[in-house]
Chains A and B, each alone.
Chain A
Amino acid sequence: MQRSISYSPGRTKFRAMLSKINHKSFWLSRVYRFFVYVLLLDLTFIFLYPFMHMLVTSFMTDADLVDITVKWIPNEFRYQNYIIAYNFLKVPVGLRNSIIQTGLPVLGHILSCSFIAYGFARYKFPGRNFMFVLVLLSFIIPAQTIIVPMYINFVSIGWGKSILPLVVPTFFGFGLRGGLFIFIFRQFFMGLPTELEEAALIDGCGSFRTFFTIILPLARTTILVTAVLAMVWHWNDYFEPSIYITKASLFPLPHMLPGMYQEMIQVKNMFVINPVTGELTEKILNEAVAMAGTVIVILPLMIAYLVLQKHFMQGIERTGLVE
């Protein structure tokens, strides 16, 4: 009996103390904040590590690579690694291919997915729910499951040697994660108030004109978020291009890397003799050159992301991608 009496004020006291920790105690909150920053900086280190590693290694000479005392600062900055990698990756061709093979699908996804999602979000028609389940299913089914008939189909209609198999499905709301983009756009359109469209309808504005002149401009942030995600995914996609794109002149930039690594393993640490002049050339393919190549491959994506990141992050936080 006595225990329960003494317990209850103790508990209140404990509670008061807890709330003090949360709101009032200046020093505790200072310490707490300090730990939050330490943790965030730790995590930042881990997240940035691959980039720092790539950047530093890409400037190393052969001697630096094997020298275990060299970790972060090479003895000598060897920018020639980049020249070798540049030539090896055939950057002008690869970059052009990559930009085309990323840009067109991104455009296709933005146009088709916003258009289709608007239909799903605003109109009621028989079979809508069933179709939307199929949209979600198209997102869940792995590309690998249906790749075989897709490939045979595309080859049989003569698209086997072009980039069309990568581009055309995106203009119909399919392609790499098309279902997800339809989902994101639908989520956004459903959150919009209907008054604007009603006003447009009363003024005699047709459905399509309403969509293109009123709704689409409102969806700017969602378009940007979709564009950034689609850009990153298409640029890095390896599976589908490695199947559909067989012509070397159409290889996107990331696909030049495996060839380079293969050759690297074969000619590792070997000087190549220039057949014309007969002298040792500087063409050493080592890990440093490989990393320089990697940096070149992700650099365009990196620049695009850093340019767009501010609006991208705001778009993510404000529009509420998920509900």
Chain B
Amino acid sequence: MKRYMLSMKARRIRDGYLFVLPWIIGCIFFFAGPILLSIRLSFSKLIKVTGFQMEWLGLDNYMRAFVYDVTFIPMFLEVVKNMFVNTPLIVIFSLFIAMLLNRDIKLRGLFRVVFFLPVLLGAGYVMQQLIGYGVDKESIEVAKGMLLPREMLLYFGPRVSGFIQLFLDRFTIILWKSGVQILLFLSGLQGIPPALYEAARCDSATEWEMFWKITLPMISPVILLNIVYTIIDSFTDFANPIIDFIYQTAFQRTEFEYAAAVGWIYFIFILIILGMTFGLMKRYIYRTGK
């Protein structure tokens, strides 16, 4: 009997490995292998491309990025700035829109479809061209009158209206980029048990209180997921200068080592940002007792 149990357990383990086997194979060829090579490459000088003949250089490639290359640091800072400004705005706006969509309103289906549409344009070449023609600025120019009256800006004084202008300039792009995040939030909002809100209403809680005490804690894991997703989404963004830089360095100037080093600097930076996000949010993330 005992032997049977054991073999049962062993069989479960074997089946588990069989299910994950494609991933393990893929991991060796498309992930772990390239990662190790890429790390080695970033510390070396490539002598011959075929067969990866390399000569150990130490930190030279990294030094080059930070000390010698004058274009790298400003570009990197721009990426950092964009990430710090855009990510919170995208998350806040998508939560806001998702909450609007989560009410029982008419034409809800239509609105949901519309808010996902810009995702179809992607961050690729099409979007780049549209932004090149100033379509994003134009749309806000037209919508500004509707969102808030032009006259209102006059009363705010130059500093505040300048700030609003800066915000409005980004506003369209931020909205266009928030399609997937809106969906994730919608999915999360649907998962909150309505009984919680009913109980709160019986105790005469206001909508405002319910948002802070129920919605936000319940949705906190989705907020984290969305932050991670937003950061990752920027990797495929055509407008991300680092990506263009790596492409140019590696495939037009064929400086593979330097491209690898820049790639790793970028990844380390992402990792630090994600680690900070996790660290900061860990205290606020509410977990259901599972």
Contacts and interface: CB of A to CB of B under 8 A. Distances in A.
B10 to A, nearest CB: 10
B155 interface: no
Nearest to B226: A322
Given A48-B117, A144-B263, A239-B236, A125 B139 contact: no
B34 A149 contact: yes
Interface string A222-257: 000000010011011111001100000000001101
Given A115-B19, A323-B191, A257 B125 contact: yes
Contact of B121 (A118, A124, A236): A236
A123 B126 contact: no
Contacts of B26: 112, 169, 171-174
B38 A47 contact: no
B178 to A, nearest CB: 10
Given A36-B105, A123-B12, A152 B27 contact: no
B60 to A, nearest CB: 16
A50 B247 CA distance: 28
Contacts of B180: 229
Interface string B180-210: 1001101110110000000001001011000
A146 B256 CA distance: 11
- Classify the secondary structure of A's interface with B: helix
A207 B15 contact: yes
Contacts of B52: 149, 152
Interface string A252-268: 00110110010000000
Q: Chain A CB within 10 Å — which of B41, B49, B118, B121 has the most?
A: B121
A140 B274 contact: yes
A229 B172 CA distance: 22
B149 interface: no
A119 B16 contact: yes
Interface stretch (A1-9, A90-98, A130-138, A272-280): A130-138
Nearest to A16: B204
A30 interface: no
Interface string A17-44: 0110011000000000100111110111
Contacts of A161: none
A320 B34 contact: no
Interface string A190-217: 0000000000000000011001000000
Contacts of A33: 105
B20 A44 contact: no
A147 interface: yes
A22 B142 contact: no
B95 interface: no
A19 B206 contact: yes
Given A146-B263, A172-B30, A174-B31, A236 B122 contact: yes
B16 A125 contact: yes
A318 B183 CA distance: 12
B100 interface: yes
Contacts of B259: 147-148
Given A148-B41, A149-B33, A254 B236 contact: no
Contacts of B235: 142-144
B146 interface: yes
A75 interface: no
A323 to B, nearest CB: 7
Contacts of B204: 15, 19
A53 B30 contact: no
Given A46-B143, A49-B139, A322-B187, A254 B126 contact: yes
A87 interface: no
Contacts of B41: 148-149
A286 to B, nearest CB: 12
A260 B238 CA distance: 18
Interface stretch (B63-71, B130-138, B158-166): B130-138
A141 to B, nearest CB: 6
A243 B247 contact: yes
Interface string A84-120: 0000000000000000000000000000100110111
A254 B7 CA distance: 54
A54 interface: yes
Contacts of A255: 125
A218 interface: no
A18 B126 contact: no
B37 interface: yes
B267 A145 contact: yes
B23 A172 contact: yes
Given A18-B206, A174-B31, 11 more contacts: A22-B207, A44-B111, A44-B114, A47-B115, A119-B16, A119-B17, A135-B23, A180-B229, A211-B19, A236-B121, A237-B236
- Which 6 A-B pairs have CB atoms at the shortest separation, nearest pair first? A172-B26, A119-B19, A236-B122, A123-B16, A49-B139, A145-B263
Interface of B: 12-13, 15-20, 22-27, 29-35, 37-38, 41, 49-52, 97, 100, 103, 105, 109, 111-126, 129-130, 133, 135-136, 138-140, 142-143, 146-147, 171-172, 175-176, 180, 183-184, 186-188, 190-191, 201, 204, 206-207, 221-222, 225, 228-229, 232, 235-236, 238, 242-243, 246-247, 250-251, 256, 259-260, 263-264, 266-267, 270-271, 274
14 contacts: A47-B175, A48-B117, A119-B15, A119-B16, A140-B232, A144-B243, A144-B263, A147-B246, A150-B34, A156-B50, A174-B31, A287-B133, A313-B113, A322-B184
